[in-house]
Amino acid sequence: MIQKILLAMFQTAFKITEMLFPALAGKWAVQLFFTPRTFTRPSWEANFLKAARKMKVPFKSDFKMGGHEDYYMRYEWGDKGPAILLVHGWEGRGSQMGHFVEPLVEAGYRVISFDAIAHGDTPGKRTNMPEFAQIIKDIDKDVGGFHAIIGHSLGGTAAGYAVAEGAHTDKLITICSPTTIEFIFEAFAQQIHASKKTIGRLSQFLENFTGKNSREFSFTNFVTQLDVPGFIIHDQKDKEIPYSQALALHQNWRESQFILTEGLGHRRILKSEDINLKIINLVKNEPYKTKLKSVASY
What residue ranges do the domains of the chain occupy? Answer: 1-33+184-217, 39-180+222-297
- State the Cα–Cα distance between residues 153 and 156, nearest whole angstrom: 6
pLDDT at 286: 58
pLDDT at 38: 87
Alpha helices in the chain (DSSP H): 2-20, 22-33, 43-50, 101-106, 129-143, 154-164, 181-192, 196-210, 219-222, 244-252, 273-284
Pair 116, 96: CB distance under 8 Å: no
pLDDT at 236: 94
pLDDT at 2: 63
pLDDT at 290: 40
pLDDT at 284: 87
| Cβ-based burial of 5 (10 A; exposed 0-12, middle 13-18, buried ≥19) | exposed
Backbone angles phi, psi at 73, to 5 degrees: -85, 130
Q: Three-state SS for 83?
A: strand
CA-based nearest residue to 98, from 141, 58, 41: 41
- State the Cα–Cα distance between residues 35 and 31, nearest whole angstrom: 6
- State the Cα–Cα distance between residues 127 and 30, nearest whole angstrom: 11
- State the Cα–Cα distance between residues 296 and 18, nearest whole angstrom: 45
Q: Which fold has domain 39-180+222-297?
A: Rossmann fold (3.40.50)
pTM, two decimal places? 0.92
Cβ-proximal residues to 139 (8 Å cutoff; 6+ apart), any chain? 74, 85, 112, 114
Per-residue pLDDT of the chain (298 residues; tens, 9 = 90+): 667 777 778 788 888 888 888 898 889 999 999 999 988 888 888 888 999 999 999 999 999 997 777 999 999 999 889 999 999 999 999 999 999 999 999 999 999 999 999 999 999 999 999 999 999 999 999 999 999 999 999 999 999 999 999 999 999 999 999 999 999 999 999 999 999 999 999 999 999 999 999 999 999 999 999 999 999 999 999 999 999 999 999 999 988 999 999 999 999 999 999 999 999 999 988 544 443 334 444 4
